[in-house]
Amino acid sequence: MILDSPDVTDINKLRIIQEGRAYHVEGYIELRKGLTLADADDIKFRVRDKLLAESDITDVTLGIIEDNGVQDWKGREERPVNGGV
């Protein structure tokens, strides 16, 4: 779900904690270069809202960084929570 946004180029770090039936998601996403801070914030909030729309995800904390040119996230096909994070 995070990588579905065309402006998200990579997931730098991601941690998902399960507490009972609830999931807490926190991580850093990399955005394409050249975005203004306002645009980057808007993208972060859209991604956060999309994750929170999943009934099992109760808390999302995301940080944003500019794409560093290194592909950190290898698991695009891995979809652990209701179709994927």
CA torsion angle for 63, 17, 46, 69 (degrees, to 10)?
50
Q: What is the pLDDT of residues 16-34, one digit of tens each?
A: 999 999 999 999 999 999 9
Provide the β-strand partners of residue 74: none
Q: What is the pLDDT of residues 51-63, one digit of tens each?
A: 999 999 999 999 9
CB 29 within 8 A of CB 47: yes
The reply to whether 7 falls in a domain is: yes
The reply to whether 73 falls in a domain is: no
Domain CATH for 58: 3.30.70.1350
Q: How many domains does the chain have?
A: 1
The reply to whether 72 falls in a domain is: no
The reply to whether 26 falls in a domain is: yes
CA distances from 42 to 21, 35, 39, 66 (A): 29, 10, 5, 14
The reply to whether 85 falls in a domain is: no
Q: How many helices (H) and strands (E) does the chain have?
A: 1, 3
Full residue range of the structural domain in which residue 55 is found: 2-66
